[in-house]
Amino acid sequence: MKVHAYPADHMWRDLNFSMHYEEETRCIIRAPVVSGLCNDQGVVQVGFIATLFDLVGGELAARTAYPDWIATADMVMYSKQRARAGELIAVGSVVRAGRGSVVIEADILAKPRKSESAISIGSAIAAFTRLRSREDTVQTSRDNASHQVFTLEGHSTSQNILDKAGLRVIDEASGAVQLNMSDYVRNAFHGIHGGVFGLLADVAGQSAARAVARRPLITSDLSIHYLSMGKVGPFCTKTRIERATEDSVVTRVEILDKGKDDLLMAVAINTATMA
């Protein structure tokens, strides 16, 4: 078993993920459902489920592409049911490993109680661009550990993870949220993790949807197109209502790096519905 080498105070430690490879092209990641992952309706924020998938997808893609690097290009996630208790599970597998990209898909499961079977609550698919190694590329060895954990022994947190990350809703009606750069959300390339894009798009779209619908809508589906890595911050969102009906609101969310002349880092489509 390998303990993942993130800082001691990092979001992934608080999320308490564990990951197990059944084979080279299939991996299972698990995380307990705790209050710090849930919104005011008592269900897990879809952004955290996107984070779960980004981790398992990124790890599978990195192993598949080695010695090349990978970068997330697109992610799409659909929800069928909400997760409220127990355990979240993402079962990821390699769909395609080409010369230019690696595609990963996953079944998203929830296991409300230990005595119950896991049920499918959604699915996700992501494309990762292969970045060829060059002479000036940092070289790493391939990680062949079959089981990895993300939480240090004795580590626990009772704080809401969005609050601890510093993600703030600046203006609900316009879907404006903001997050400062910190070691808590930083990846090995000194940018924010791909999963954090999901959290920004989730909270921004959901906030704007609630304001226009005047109902406690919750993000159900996310589609994220990654354009650039975020390295400076603060990171902020611009949100536009694309469609509003009695049952759902669709928003378009831009994620920008204010500290880098409002660099457009990603564009997301968020669909929010009732819980």
Tens-level pLDDT at each residue, the chain (275 residues): 444 556 677 887 888 888 888 888 899 999 999 888 899 999 999 999 999 899 899 989 999 998 888 889 999 999 999 999 999 999 999 999 999 999 999 999 999 888 888 999 999 999 999 987 655 444 444 456 676 666 655 555 657 889 989 999 999 999 999 999 999 998 877 888 888 999 999 999 999 999 999 999 999 999 999 999 889 999 999 999 999 998 899 999 999 999 999 999 999 999 999 97
Under 8 Å between Cβ of 100 and 89: no
Predicted confidence at residue 151, as pLDDT, reads: 60
Q: Give the closest residue to 15 by CA, choosing from 58, 59, 45, 57.
A: 45
Residue 260 DSSP class: G
Q: Give the closest residue to 168 by CA, choosing from 242, 233, 244, 224.
A: 233
CB environment 115-145: b (16+ within 10 A), e (fewer): eeebeebbbbbbbbbbeeeeeeeeeeeeeee
Predicted confidence at residue 154, as pLDDT, reads: 54
Written out in words, the top-level CATH class of the domain with range 2-273 is mainly beta
Pull the structure tokens for residue 1: 């078993």
Residues in the chain: 275
Under 8 Å between Cβ of 105 and 92: yes
Predicted confidence at residue 125, as pLDDT, reads: 97
Determine the 3-state secondary structure of 63 from DSSP.
Answer: helix
Predicted confidence at residue 41, as pLDDT, reads: 92
Residue 104 sits at φ, ψ, to 5 deg, of: -120, 140
Q: Give the closest residue to 223 by CA, choosing from 37, 73, 85, 60.
A: 73
Q: Give the closest residue to 12 by CA, choosing from 204, 168, 187.
A: 187
* CA triple 165-169-173, angle to 5 deg: 160
Question: H/E element holding 55?
Answer: helix 46-65
Instruction: Give burial (CB, 10 Å; 0-12/13-18/19+) of 182.
Output: middle
Strand partners, 178: 168, 236
Under 8 Å between Cβ of 170 and 236: yes
Determine the 3-state secondary structure of 14 from DSSP.
Answer: helix
pTM of the model: 0.89
